[in-house]
Amino acid sequence: MIMKEFSSTDMKIIMATFEILQEEGFAKATTKKIAAKAGVNEVTIFRNFNNKNNLVEITKDYYRQVLIVKLKEIFDFYEDETIEEYLKISFFGILNLTDEDFSILRVAMEEVRADPGKKILISDVTDVVLNKLEEFFQLKIDKDIIRKVNPKSLAIMCFGMLFQSVMLWKVYNHDLDFESNYYADDLLNIMFEGLNPND
């Protein structure tokens, strides 16, 4: 994915827009407030971005690309990685995302809540994770490391169990009241050993 390059002034405006969106949401994010936060004249915003809607879309697209690049790195894998290694590394990769990264997800979720028809940012993020997980599980199936099951189903299960819960907790600033190492181990144990009691 090739990131579009912006001038330093445009980047100041984009960063200011993102801050205002986090703090106040779309409705209250006026070009006047954005200009003040960016330290530019309001005319510069209109000259460089035409209007508020265009600026907001460019801002969301920029931060979406930033997050997607990070997620692709987190969920990338080596052919010889075990399932346990891969899922644990990915799990801690999510835990170690920055507050700004989780703010991108928060803005995406607020966007969907405000307008259920707008799911681009959140669905792109979800698709990146699910596609990488599915690719990993398909590789393991092809190598006869795991039995032939639907790799998409496995991807969805892992996404829900190990990642979505942590993403949501972090997005909404809940302290994780568990030892994350044990949480990952417990979920992986349930995944591999099932729920039936041992004989």
Nearest by Cα to 20 from 56, 62, 50? 56
pLDDT of residue 153: 92
pLDDT of residue 125: 78
Nearest by Cα to 22 from 70, 56, 46? 56
The radius of gyration computed from the CA coordinates of the chain, to the nearest angstrom, equals: 20
| CA 106/CA 142 separation, integer angstroms | 37
pLDDT of residue 64: 84
Share above pLDDT 70 across residues of the chain, in percent, rounded to a whole number: 78
Average pLDDT over residues 52-69: 88
Helix (H) or strand (E) holding 137: helix 120-142
pLDDT of residue 36: 94
Nearest by Cα to 86 from 127, 128, 126, 135? 135
Nearest by Cα to 83 from 158, 169, 21? 158
Residue 29 near residue 19, CB atoms below 8 Å: no
Residue 65 near residue 5, CB atoms below 8 Å: no
